[in-house]
Structures are given as structure tokens and as C-alpha cells.
Structure 1
């Protein structure tokens, strides 16, 4: 993968074109005072995966039996209902 370095000011003024170049496979290094600070790289297909229905990050899938039961009167009063 080819790598090209840009100083921070230059990167700010050309950000759209640098992102486009990175999306096409070029590695863009952003430097300040000649010291590399950040790198723009393309997002690989493995980084964008669809969510699985019913799943979450913690693997917890639980729905209480009384989930849709009416709220108690004292809770309704707290909401002004």
C-alpha cells in the first residue's frame, strides 16, 4: 500500500480529496512539524458488518414477562398522569 505524508494545514485544506484517495487504497499520513500524528486508511469490508437481529454487544437478550403491563399508580403519579 502506497503511503503519502501531508502536513496538518495542507490536510485540512484538502481533506475531501485525501479521504477519497484513502478510500481508493492509498495510506495518507498526517504530520505536524514533520512528526506523523494520524493515518487515513480505507475501511475494509470486515469493518462494516450488518447487525444480527436480536443480538447486542453484551449478548444479553431478556424481556421481562410483565414488560407491557400497566405501570403502577404511584409511578403514573410521578409522571403527572
Structure 2
């Protein structure tokens, strides 16, 4: 579990907290019990995943631009 630090304590002990983060620890700064910021080592991988393109190929088939092309061609080539 990530440690929480009140914003007043974070201000008073910033140097110590930065040294701890440099050693790999992380913590959350809170104000009145409400989380404000997560402090993590700079080389720690991001936990948030990228959402852009997360369903690529799942909703729109790769042949979407060709779907139904045979039927469309038949309708346009049909005698009127």
C-alpha cells in the first residue's frame, strides 16, 4: 500500500521525502484526507495505460472498407 503524507508534513520534510523517492519509494500527498498528488520515482513505469487505439481491430474489421463491395457492384451493374 502506498504511504500517504499530509501536505503540511510534505512541505516540512520535502528533502527527506525526495531522498526516499530517489530510493524507489512512492507516496501520496493529501489535504484534509483528500488525495492530491502521487509522488513516484522518475524511472518508475507509468501505471496508467494508454487508451488511444485500445480496441484496434475489435469493433471495426480490417476489411471494413471492402465489406459488401460485391453486393454494391451487383446493384450498380444491374439492368434498370
TM-score of the aligned structures, taking structure 2 as reference length:
0.51
- Shift, 1:16, TM fit: 0.5
Rounded Cα–Cα distance in structure 2 between residues aligned with 1:22 and 1:45? 10
Rounded Cα–Cα distance in structure 1 between residues aligned with 2:44 and 2:25? 16
Query: Which segments of 5 or more consecutive residues in structure 1 lack a partner in the other structure?
Result: 47-81
Rounded Cα–Cα distance in structure 1 between residues aligned with 2:2 and 2:21? 10
Rounded Cα–Cα distance in structure 1 between residues aligned with 2:18 and 2:29? 12
In 2 relative to 1, CA 25–34 (structure 1 residues): closer, same or farther, beyond 3 Å? same
Query: Which segments of 5 or more consecutive residues in structure 2 lack a partner in the other structure?
Result: 46-80
Greater helix proportion: 2
TM-score of the aligned structures, taking structure 1 as reference length:
0.50
In 2 relative to 1, CA 45–7 (structure 1 residues): closer, same or farther, beyond 3 Å? closer
Query: Runs of 4 or more off by more than 4 Å in structure 1?
Result: none
Other-structure match for 2:34: 35
In 2 relative to 1, CA 43–6 (structure 1 residues): closer, same or farther, beyond 3 Å? same
Corresponding residue pairs, total: 45
